[in-house]
Structures are given as structure tokens and as C-alpha cells.
């Protein structure tokens, strides 16, 4: 483990009081749990609910905040009102994060808090994540990066802390299921969320439904592809996805991989 927990705690103490951008995922739950331990009265977690976040993930964030015991606030934003987001260029994540993190910053200011932190880790720096630039421009601190934490470090430390998120699949917003330059609509997002909910209920906890028009390209871990192709499950998925609005359903034989939609991406 390369992450330095003592260093992380010291950095949080130096930033107190602060607001954490909290999604309820592996990284932000770990960060919030450490923050609650070292700054119990001066740390606040803020979750932003939008059309880009599955409703079950927002509810889970509320549950985790209660379990940790951290002061928690949930805000709402209509991300589809912003044309720079819905146009879905390769900089969509930058614009979206700018709007969402600005909302958190505004809320923090109303509470008299100037220090803002988010749960980016070292591994995130190796992927195409333009939203990180937005966070930096808005003055967000990245204590997990500064303390040397990788994703695996966070999982190991989370397990030791008995956080149920320690082995939870990575989260990403629903917009990442739609190819760049394909405009984002509420209908497409709803189709993706419904499709992933169906797969989740069938036992596929780590999955993505990529929306290519009327075609759903489903990603599951390589070891789950055989189960997916079983006749009973396959027919059930196809029938249900047609009701959702997908005329065609396919499976990506390469399996699930984080950031796959970025493979052909070139910043514009």
C-alpha cells in the first residue's frame, strides 16, 4: 500500500473546516469516513443529484453518509439545461463538473466554508478526465492524490475500516454510456438507467449499457459473458430491453473496461 493514511489525516486537519463532494462511491466514502474520524464537527459531505446519476446511487450515498455519521446535504441540479453539457463533446465532463462543483462551492460559501475537497485518486490521473481541470479551477483540493492513494490502496484501507464500499464496482455518470458528439437527452439517460437496473436485478452488479441509438451494447466482466449468453437470461434481457426502447441488444465480447468510451476520444 502506497497511500499514507497519517499524511491524509494531517492534510484534512489542516483544511478543516471543509466540504467534500460526496457520491457515495468507493473513493468519496473512504475520504468522508476518514474526515469524520479526524474532523467530526467540521466536515460536511454534499451530494448532487442529477439526471446523470442513477437514483439508486443517490439513495446509496444518503445511506453511506448516515452510516459514516457525517453531516450530509443533498442538492439537485438539472444538468440538461446546459447546452455545453447536452452537446456531449469530448469536454462534456469538464462543463458538467464545472456546473456541479460550482453548485457545491456556492452551498459551501453559504455555510461560511471556503475549503473544498474531492475524492480523485492517483489512478484517475491516468485516464481522460477533463472534469479534474474544472475542479482545479474552482479551487478543490485532492487530498487522496496528495497522500499517494491509488484505487487499490483505498479499497484495502476501506476494508480495514469495514466500509461496505471496499469492493463495490466503480461508479460513473450515466452520460458516459453515450458516445461523444451524440446529443444527450432525458430519454436516452432513462433507457440506460432502466437497462442497467434490469441487469443489476438479474445479478450483474458490474455492468454498463452503452447507448448507440436504438442499439444497446452491454458490457459485463469477461467471466460473466457466458452467464449472460444463457438462453433464458439472454431472451429475458432482449425482451425487456425492447420494452425499454432498444430495438437491438448486443454484448461486448471484450468485456467491461473502465473508460472504454474514451478509447477513440480526441479533445476538441
**Average pLDDT score over residue span 205-210:** 92
Per-residue pLDDT of 119-146, as tens digits, reads 999 999 988 899 999 999 999 999 999 9
The beta strands (E) that lie in the chain are given as 18-21, 43-49, 71-76, 115-117, 140-141, 208-212, 215-219, 248-251
pLDDT band, residue 225 (cuts 50/70/90)? very high
Residue 32 CB burial class (10 angstroms; 0-12, 13-18, ≥19)? buried
For helices 186-201 and 231-244, angle between their N-to-C axes, nearest 10 degrees: 160
**By the 8 A CB rule, do 51 and 80 touch?**
yes
For the cut 60, the answer to whether the pLDDT of residue 40 exceeds it is yes
For the cut 70, the answer to whether the pLDDT of residue 267 exceeds it is no
d(CA 181, CA 13): 42
d(CA 243, CA 219): 20
Q: What is the reported pLDDT for 257? A: 75
Per-residue pLDDT of 228-257, as tens digits, reads 889 999 999 999 999 999 999 999 999 887
d(CA 205, CA 223): 13
**By the 8 A CB rule, do 119 and 27 touch?**
yes
**By the 8 A CB rule, do 42 and 16 touch?**
yes
Q: What is the reported pLDDT for 259? A: 66
Domain extent listing, the chain = 5-160, 174-262
* Candidates 3.90.480.10, 3.10.450.40, 3.40.50.620, 3.20.20.70; CATH matching 5-160: 3.40.50.620
**By the 8 A CB rule, do 167 and 209 touch?**
no
d(CA 122, CA 144): 8
Class of domain 174-262 (CATH, top level): alpha beta
d(CA 33, CA 22): 11
Q: What is the reported pLDDT for 106? A: 98
**Average pLDDT score over residue span 161-172:** 92
Closest CA to 63 of 23, 101, 35: 23
For the cut 80, the answer to whether the pLDDT of residue 1 exceeds it is no
d(CA 95, CA 211): 21
**Average pLDDT score over residue span 77-98:** 97
CB atoms within 10 A of CB 128: 15
Amino acid at each position: 500500500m502506497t497511500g499514507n493514511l497519517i499524511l491524509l489525516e494531517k492534510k484534512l486537519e489542516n483544511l478543516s473546516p471543509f466540504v467534500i463532494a460526496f457520491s457515495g462511491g468507493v473513493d468519496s466514502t473512504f475520504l468522508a469516513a476518514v474526515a469524520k474520524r479526524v474532523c467530526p464537527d467540521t466536515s460536511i459531505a454534499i451530494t448532487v443529484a442529477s439526471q446523470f446519476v442513477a437514483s439508486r446511487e443517490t439513495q446509496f450515498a444518503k445511506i453511506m453518509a448516515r452510516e459514516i455519521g457525517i453531516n450530509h446535504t443533498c442538492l439537485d441540479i438539472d444538468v440538461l439545461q446546459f447546452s455545453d453539457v447536452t452537446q456531449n463533446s469530448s469536454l462534456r465532463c469538464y462543463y458538467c463538473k464545472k456546473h456541479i462543483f460550482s453548485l457545491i462551492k456556492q452551498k459551501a460559501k453559504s455555510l461560511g466554508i471556503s475549503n473544498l475537497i474531492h475524492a480523485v485518486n492517483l489512478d484517475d490521473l491516468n485516464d481522460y478526465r477533463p472534469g479534474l481541470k474544472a475542479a482545479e479551477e474552482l479551487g478543490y483540493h485532492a487530498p487522496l492524490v496528495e497522500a499517494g492513494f491509488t484505487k487499490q490502496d483505498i479499497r484495502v484501507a476501506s476494508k480495514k475500516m469495514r466500509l461496505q464500499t471496499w469492493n463495490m464496482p466503480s461508479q460513473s455518470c450515466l452520460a458516459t454510456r453515450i458516445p461523444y458528439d451524440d446529443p444527450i437527452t432525458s430519454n436516452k439517460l432513462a433507457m440506460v438507467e432502466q437497462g442497467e437496473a434490469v441487469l443489476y436485478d438479474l445479478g450483474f452488479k458490474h455492468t454498463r449499457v452503452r447507448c448507440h441509438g436504438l442499439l444497446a451494447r452491454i458490457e459485463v466482466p469477461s467471466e460473466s459473458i457466458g452467464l449472460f449468453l444463457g438462453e433464458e437470461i439472454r431472451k429475458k434481457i432482449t425482451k425487456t430491453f425492447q420494452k425499454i426502447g432498444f430495438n437491438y441488444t448486443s454484448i461486448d465480447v471484450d468485456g467491461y473496461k473502465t473508460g472504454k468510451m474514451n478509447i477513440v476520444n480526441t479533445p476538441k
